[in-house]
Structure 1
Amino acid sequence: MSTLLLIDDDPALLEVVSLALEDAGHQVLCAKDGLEALRMHEQSRPGLIVSDVNMPRLDGFALCRKLRQAGDFTPLILLTSRDNEVDEALGLELGADDYISKPFSTRILVARITALLRRDELRRGGQARQSRFVQGALELDPERLECRYGGLLVQVTVTEFRLIEALARRPGVLFTRDQLLRQIRDDDCIVVDRIIDTYVRRLRRKLEAVSPSFSEIETVIGMGYRWRDG
């Protein structure tokens, strides 16, 4: 059983969604805004966070930013009532692992949660027991979810770790956006494949922050991405 933190200022939505998540076998903690959620997160350390974007006092974007800046990479899904690609991209830029636009099916939410928890579980055990992977200046430690470039630590989310691992393990191989999404998400939910561009852009920025000359992730216009071979 996983403990989830569900955050929304709509009491009716909290009740409906929390019941659905409990029926799926999870323990659910509920908060009505970001400030309350931060306190509950500090006390309970949930395995995953589901947060609305539009909330009083501290909204979902600000909550995500605070957690990531503090080095906390608990898997996080943002809920947005504005079906707007800019909102989705902003959430991912700030470090969210996924997003769902309202209104949404609780079945879809449960599927996304299951996929994210599976990724996190795999990197903690099972596949996480793999030895450290090295590709040039890049070092990946699945057990610790650690990414280093040139010996310097790069703070990444679970999704970002899976993305860079997928690319780096097969240098020179071209991956389409759809292929990368299938490798990093582990679910059957329909998502616009262009969202992979946001994941890649965010990952590049983090790597460039520790190595300004970083250029290992190549864009093949109209096709997708690959890790530079040699």
Structure 2
Amino acid sequence: MIRVAIADDHQMFIDGIRSILDNVSYITIVAEAKDGLELIKAVEKENPDIVLTDIRMPGMDGIAAVKYLTENYSHIPVLALSMFDQEEEVIDMLKAGAAGYIIKKAGKDELVTAIQKLVNRGHYYSDSISANVHKWLENPEMVEELTPLTKRERQILKLIADGKTSQQIARFLKISKYTVDTHRKNIHKKLDIKTNTGLVKYVLENMQ
């Protein structure tokens, strides 16, 4: 039996996945979560064989959750499910450690195939994701050239340059302070800038 944990902030979507997988005799959903933090707690409790997670969720988003799971539960593969096939989000999720990525409009057969491949330590990516993503999968060092900062990271960087604290940014974007701090660390690392003053200078020189 393949034991699945799923995270999505829309119950209707979770119910839809459950209705699909209920018809597959060897797959069962053992945990549901509405955000990344709930997902982590569910994984700690249930130790599923695979995690299915959305990217955009309130509080801790899917990317932050996958990074945590990759670091602490590397034996559990993660399949990202999203309405979007934008290369920034796809690459960011794969960098976080997701072993697969499919679009939510995928049919039952594709979902089941993806789950099977990941449980068997393989990978699965929807055909609809961009050619650039496939190039990155073959040549990961391209990632900084393809997407130095994600859309969310650029958004947070501009707010940092405006003098906002992590708590203020979290309230403004309606996400958790933990998620903001994670993005901050990624921004500093990607840009190789160690101070907020340096980040402000980067914004003035590159993002006006």
TM > 0.5 fold call: yes
The alignment status of 1:199 with 2:137, answered yes or no, reads yes
Q: Distance in 2 between matches of 1:203 and 1:38?
A: 29
Confirm or deny: 8 A CA contact 2:85 2:128 kept in the other structure: no
* Counterpart-to-counterpart distance in 1, 2:35 and 2:13: 13
* Bigger strand fraction: 1
Which residue of structure 2 aligns with residue 22 of structure 1? 22
> Which residue of the partner structure matches residue 190 of structure 1?
127
Comparing 196-205 with 73-82, greater Cα deviation is found at: 196-205
User: Residues 163-217 of structure 1: CA distance to partner in whole angstroms, max 9, x if unpaired?
Assistant: xxxxxxxxxxxxxxxxxxxxxx5x9x63556534323444899xxxxxxxxxxxx
Cα 1:9–1:49, aligned 2, differ >3 Å: closer, same or farther? same
Q: Distance in 2 between matches of 1:202 and 1:74?
A: 22
Indicate conservation of the 8 Å contact 2:55/2:62, yes or no. yes
Q: Is the 8 A contact 1:33 1:59 kept in 2?
A: yes
Distance 2:44 2:71 in 1: 15
Pick 1 or 2: higher relative contact order, CA cutoff 8 A, min separation 6: 2
User: How do 1:44-123 and structure 2 match up within 5 A?
Assistant: 44-70=46-72, 72-117=74-119, 119-120=120-121
Q: Give deviations 1:68-122, integer Å, cap 9, x for gaps.
A: 23352411111122231221111111111111123332332112112222x23xx
The sequence identity of aligned pairs, in percent, is: 24
Q: Are the aligned partners of 1:93 and 1:202 in contact in 2 as well (CA < 8 Å)?
A: no
Task: Give the secondary-structure state (helix, strand or coil) at the position aligned to 2:22.
Answer: helix
Contact 1:7 1:32 in 2 (8 A): yes
Q: 1:9 to 1:71 in 2, by over 3 A?
A: closer
SS in 2 for 1:78: strand
Could you say what the CA RMSD is over the residues aligned between the two structures, in angstroms?
2.5
Cα distance in 1 for residues equivalent to 2:75 and 2:138: 18
Aligned partner of 2:3 in structure 1 is: 3
Q: Which structure carries more helix by proportion?
A: 2
Between the aligned partners of 1:4 and 1:77, the Cα distance in structure 2 is 10
| 1:209-228 correspondence runs (5 A) | none
Letter in 2 for 1:76: V
Give, in whole Å, the separation in 1 of the partners of 2:100 and 2:128.
Answer: 10
Alignment TM-score, normalising by the size of structure 1: 0.54
Aligned residues: 140
The TM-score with structure 2 as length reference comes to 0.59
